Amino acid sequence: MAIELRGKAIVITGASSGIGAATAWACAAAGMRVVIAARRIEKLREVVERAGAMGVARGAIVPMACDVQDEGACARLIDDATREVGTLHAVFANAGYGQEASALEMPDAQLRAMLETNFWGSVWTIRPALRAMQERGSGHVLLCSSCVAKIGVPYLSAYTMSKAMQDHWARALRIELLGSGVHVSSVHPIGTRTEFFDVSASKSSTKAGLFQRTPKAFMQPPERVARAVVACLRRPKGEVWTSWVTRMALAASVAAPGGTDWLLGRKFGGKGESEKAAKR
């Protein structure tokens, strides 16, 4: 039986643009009460304004500033959202970014910053929400992982590691909460046409442009992911994929790691390959 979403509340982090913003509009269109969070409150207000132009009811989306690298700020977000829109049915931990850098040469500070945003930001947002969900025996938490959570990509090791951490944490949590009435889902988009790619390029220390060179066949609009998230909220499942072909390809890569390493080595392997790729 499908879950009726109308009137239920959700918190979405990283919602100033891209997948987060698209999911906020889709959830509001489904009748949910939505709290959107990100560091840039002015960008969140733009999301709210655009929602009105889409016919979303005034007040259906509430913006709240939050830096998910701050554990205390994440806890306050859940408290403030609950006071503002009532009992939280769902939390979508979507905040995150990518960065292209050598696994050996990436500075520790940059690696820690990415893990704090992509992984710890998810944990710190979800944990305080789960306490109330467990007490009442219902709720749904989702983490925006990635298709590359299943594979390590050269020069994107930090990003793929952070996405794998989200994936593994979600799966373990999902099994631990079986039968509790609380659902846990990991979301695995392929390349998504958002400002994510521009932000990634600005933070990257190599010039190969791996994010920007994602083939068009492996790109989707954020609205595609948003629809999949809403569908999962209605009918919960453990993993949400927006490309069946990519899912099968990555399943094969896990089954045949030697072949995968050979293919990745042909494309990216060897010292200086990222710089060579940048010149092609």
Res 68: pLDDT: 97
CA proximity to 245, closest of 211, 217, 223: 217
Res 265: pLDDT: 84
Q: What are phi and psi of 29, to 5 degrees?
A: -65, -30
User: Mind giving me the DSSP string for 188-224?
Assistant: E--EE-STHHHHHHHH-SS-S-TTTT--GGGEE-HHH
Res 52: pLDDT: 85
Residues assigned a catalytic role: 159
For residue range 23-65, list pLDDT tens digits in order: 999 999 999 999 999 999 999 999 999 998 888 888 999 999 9
Res 274: pLDDT: 43
Q: What domains are there in the chain, each with its CATH number? A: 9-279 (3.40.50.720)
Contacting residues for 50 by C-beta, under 8 A, at least 6 apart: 21, 25
Calculate the alpha carbon distances from 183 to 171, 212, 217, 219 in Å. 11, 34, 31, 28
8 Å CB contact between 278 and 207? yes
Res 273: pLDDT: 44
Ranges in the chain, pLDDT < 70: 193-218, 269-280
Res 29: pLDDT: 95
What predicted TM-score, i.e. pTM, was given to this entire model? 0.87
For residue range 205-239, list pLDDT tens digits in order: 555 555 555 556 567 999 999 999 999 999 999 99
Structural tokens at position 182: 């609380």
Burial degree of 56 (CB within 10 A; 0-12, 13-18, 19+)? buried
